[in-house]
Structure 1
């Protein structure tokens, strides 16, 4: 049986303006400029004065309201017809400021940034293959091997799979012996260790390129071929006993192995690409007083287009409004509102960033003055949220993607947050302080007898930090420090 009844519900929904602010808040400075450019392209009612080369021409409707009464009666409708409404309804992505951009002469010299041209890793191998006198079949096999290499220079594709590829794709029938023979040819190319099928073969190929009469090289080859597992796990005592070596001899052999390149394919390439970090804040020390400034890129000079405001006023005051005129009014109003909301969201973002960072700076004042991690106070998101009277999620959005530049380096705001640890005296300290002590202890340890986690736990307890061994192990792993056995050196 169907029944009707009234029910009250209390719902909390985010407005489009709030959603836009949240998205802008979590955008870092390095991506904010791109986001603003996207908005400028999408909304012609939004302008950036810094991009305007010439002054915007005065609208013919600026003095419309000041026109004499006899003018209003005779030509107001004519002025309405002068607007081509279709131009604004067809494409809402046209920028009214873009027409002032192309003022450069065609004869002006166009300067381009020179680009360095270098041979790639695979091109270098192909050039070496071209210089070797080979039969047509061997040349095809060689090209197949080079094309099957990974970026680090290893051949991880099975030989049988390459034989199938040659048969199906190039109609070349070969045997395993033919591929192995060409593999030996490729492995003789530069850089040494290329086309190896595993790390052991890669290191062996490099060592066999060195002086064969050197006893250190011969012992290094023996260790790599027969004792690689013991070497990687740093069981040096087993190596000394098995090979009858002294500590000094083993030290020289290990140094020789460590000089080898485990990824020969990366030797001609940039292996580490540094991520460009643009700080959102700057904290400077002015005679013991910290001064906080916001990166100027976070405060763009945006404004609403005056021509669009005049256009809306004109359409809105028009005496006759047909369907097309109403659509024009609605379109212009939508773009004006969107521009105002975006500008307000940018300003609110600036205020929130400054408010949050200022609270963090005041909380970690001693640390930001000295740069000593031992003076960092324990701080969680709730501490800052309560201080600035904002939600924890807002603080989290600011802390997760923003950087601050100090006199001691550039840091992610998230790194200033840490858990509290209670000492024997009852004082709460940051776990960053404990990690700093662990780092100092491990850095000053005797590498021949590195400190185990149990010993590190005892050292911390002697200093008043009552921490379990598993907690010490957790902090050590967070700092990417290996266990004592793997830190051992001869």
Structure 2
């Protein structure tokens, strides 16, 4: 095949560094924004945190990340630019913040803030078990086997690894040739640790371990042990009639057994160990206050400190501008300073654009779902999709999606994820479009108010919703019920 040359024209959409940075910042929730700003402060010495709170000139309108404007900070690194360095815009004081040294009085030095930050000491789940392991009288060989078993437990406290696999791990990693009988005997000892039910192979063994611990303490749980031991599958599927026939139990006896079993912990390891703080605490990004039926929206800017260009870097450029002799080394230093200042300007602008984009999007959502934020009633939620908010704000749909994906809003009725307010529409008999959230709320209320001895089937739930004027099929009811994590009627049955 012969080589040939040809000319081609291509039209490509290329994202600028500012657009990429804005996309990443929009995805960052308020809880992690402070950490992201700290990273930028460490990487860029020309960026610093302002000690005084100034209301910087925010953008008048939210900027879409896909709107590419003229890049005033781009440098192509050409020889002409290197020789003719223009630093006039960098040394101007017109748009500069008041320097902190102009506001400081040396005669009255600020008192040192000696507050200490308390740290919470936590022990992991495996550390807790290893502490209890030290209370056993084990030889060096058995102790290593026990350590291997503890290390094989999952976060729920279950031992889901086969004995043969544990034996192989001991042989290859610890050079210990242990039989399955030896491993099983040490497992029995670990199963006596707290919390009860630890080191079980499955749910049945976990529950039985807890019941046998109660039996030793003198509690009357023998009947519950028999039910789980002989009729575990029937109990999990709520085939109570078969259990009653097999053990000759009346309703009161079976009810007592159920009350004992449901109080057991199916995940004994879940109550121990470190907790992911990002999952434990929700930091709202927005606050909505109902002030005499007038909604007020505020942005949580607690983790977004005021940023500014370092005064020291500006002073360096001023000294260079005043100097007469400018050698190559000085020019290289000035080019480096300009790049850092440009990068700092980009980041400050992106933070401002982020704040305005968030406020604009949330304000559109608040106005669209005005009735819900006034009443807190989910049935007042209107059908709303990303396209609706994108058309109101003039932003791209992907931008709205990034804002709604990981943000929370705090209201007087609770804290909600922004994705909660987006839902599809469903038509009623009158032709009116209602939110699927409204249908799910009514479905949840119907199930909550049902007779638990005779739970409502999906077919009956469909009939009740149709009586209320909602055109809905049985398979749709089943889908909504599964989305609400509600089991089928048989599993909702209670005595």
Q: TM-score, normalised by structure 1?
A: 0.80
Residue 379 of structure 2 contacts residue 438 of structure 2 at CA under 8 Å; is this kept in 1?
yes
Shift of 1:245: 1.5
Residue 122 of structure 2 contacts residue 274 of structure 2 at CA under 8 Å; is this kept in 1?
no
Determine if the alignment matches structure 1 residue 197 to structure 2 residue 201.
yes
Distance change in 2, residues 1:357/1:187 (3 Å): closer
Aligned residues: 438
Distance 1:166 1:145 in 2: 10
Partner in structure 2 of residue 45 of structure 1: 46
Q: Deviations over 1:61-114 (max 9, x none)?
A: xxxxxxxxxxxxxxxxxxxxxxxxxxxxxxxxxxx99xx9xxx99x99784636
Distance 1:129 1:214 in 2: 25
Match of 1:123 among 111, 116, 130: 130
Distance 2:314 2:447 in 1: 66
Residue 216 of structure 1 contacts residue 252 of structure 1 at CA under 8 Å; is this kept in 2?
no
* Superposition pairs of residues 27-46 of structure 1, within 5 angstroms: 27-46=28-47
Distance 1:271 1:305 in 2: 38
Partner in structure 1 of residue 237 of structure 2: 233
Aligned-partner SS, 1:467: coil
Residue 33 of structure 2 contacts residue 304 of structure 2 at CA under 8 Å; is this kept in 1?
no
Determine if the alignment matches structure 1 residue 458 to structure 2 residue 463.
yes
Partner in structure 1 of residue 20 of structure 2: 19
Distance 1:146 1:392 in 2: 49
Distance 1:434 1:138 in 2: 59
- Aligned Cα RMSD in Å? 3.3
Determine if the alignment matches structure 1 residue 388 to structure 2 residue 389.
no
Aligned-partner SS, 1:410: strand
Segments of structure 1 that go 5 or more residues without pairing to the other structure are 53-95
Partner in structure 2 of residue 348 of structure 1: 353
Distance 2:217 2:362 in 1: 64
Shift of 1:161: 4.1
Distance change in 2, residues 1:186/1:397 (3 Å): closer
Distance 1:40 1:457 in 2: 58
Q: TM-score, normalised by structure 2?
A: 0.79
* Superposition pairs of residues 36-435 of structure 1, within 5 angstroms: 36-50=37-51, 111=116, 113=118, 115-116=120-121, 120-130=127-137, 142=146, 145-164=149-168, 175-211=179-215, 217-269=221-273, 274-297=279-302, 300-316=305-321, 318-435=323-440
Residue 385 of structure 2 contacts residue 422 of structure 2 at CA under 8 Å; is this kept in 1?
yes
Distance 1:302 1:215 in 2: 64
Segments of structure 2 that go 5 or more residues without pairing to the other structure are 54-98
The worse-fitting range, judged by mean Cα deviation, of 426-435 and 160-169 is: 160-169
Distance 1:459 1:328 in 2: 76
Shift of 1:323: 2.0
Residue 452 of structure 1 contacts residue 484 of structure 1 at CA under 8 Å; is this kept in 2?
yes
Aligned-partner SS, 2:365: helix
Using CA pairs under 8 Å that are at least 6 residues apart, name the structure with larger relative contact order, 1 or 2: 2
Partner in structure 1 of residue 487 of structure 2: 482
Aligned-partner SS, 1:378: coil
Partner in structure 1 of residue 86 of structure 2: none
Shift of 1:183: 3.8
Distance 1:5 1:476 in 2: 61
